[in-house]
Chain A
């Protein structure tokens, strides 16, 4: 997992995050939380294909919050695609039901974590805590 920490470059010391969700409200909330609570540099796209296309254009993020059910390309499909491209970002799958099958699908696709929506502060803290490479 790439760390964005670089001495003398304060603008790169923030964790870069990508929110992938087809719901505009969710994108707004998650972005606001990641920016305000965790001081992340957060961007968002509305489906898995946009996330993959972004990476094909050379974008890279420390952490990706990936919704499961989206039009055009599902979250687990996008995760598989990104891992196939060699993307090493932490990927956190977000499902809309407490369904073990969804979780297994996400983890099998290559995600590092999987949570039920909505993403909240405690869940993000747990992810960051489990991976000490990310600074607090």
Chain B
């Protein structure tokens, strides 16, 4: 596969992530910060996000097991962090699910939190899988032209 064809595939894959509502404008803002000095900036940020997210998912799972009663303040705090991390990479659907979870925390709904968290994990796993495929293809395609930035 020639380089141009690879790059078109990368672009198409990225577009589909937006079309499916998985990513928002923030992802583009991250790409604009990528240049020759920071050629893997986006992937570095996303990798940091995976590290954070894994830790937070484990903590939230643990907190959800500590019933009778659930500590909604603790859950809300953990989800606040998860939302911040997800927002920073433009994870649109994951962010929406974080908001829903926090509403359930405020409403004191244990069942709502459990249900929302399961959905959040599904959204997170789906996005992570697609982003990993995207970055793998992007690495194979080679460096893209960087966005122009005004000085």
Contacts and interface: CB of A to CB of B under 8 A. Distances in A.
B96 interface: no
A26 B84 contact: yes
A26 B49 CA distance: 10
A121 B30 contact: no
Contacts, number: 54
Contact of B149 (A26, A37, A120): A37
Interface in A38-88: 39, 69
Interface SS majority for chain B:
helix
A85 to B, nearest CB: 27
Interface size bucket, B side?
20 to 34
Interface stretch (A4-12, A28-36, A107-115): A28-36
Interface in B97-151: 99, 149-151
B59 interface: no
B26 A118 contact: yes
Contacts of B29: 33, 118, 120-121
B61 interface: no
A37 B88 contact: no
A25 B88 contact: yes
B87 A118 contact: yes
A39 B149 CA distance: 11
A84 to B, nearest CB: 27
Given A29-B33, A37-B32, A37-B33, A23 B45 contact: no
A25 B48 contact: yes
Interface in B70-89: 80-81, 83-85, 87-89
Given A25-B52, A118-B26, A120-B25, A32 B33 contact: yes
Contacts of B52: 23-25
A29 B29 CA distance: 9
B17 to A, nearest CB: 18
Interface of B: 25-26, 29-30, 32-33, 35, 38, 41, 45, 48-49, 52, 80-81, 83-85, 87-89, 99, 149-151
Interface of A: 23-26, 28-29, 32-33, 36-37, 39, 69, 96-97, 117-118, 120-121
Given A25-B88, A29-B88, 18 more contacts: A23-B52, A23-B85, A23-B88, A25-B48, A29-B30, A29-B33, A32-B33, A32-B38, A32-B41, A33-B33, A36-B35, A37-B33, A39-B151, A96-B80, A96-B83, A117-B84, A120-B25, A120-B26
22 contacts: A23-B84, A25-B45, A25-B48, A25-B84, A25-B88, A26-B84, A28-B45, A28-B48, A29-B45, A29-B88, A32-B41, A33-B33, A37-B32, A37-B33, A39-B151, A69-B80, A96-B80, A117-B84, A117-B88, A118-B26, A120-B25, A120-B29
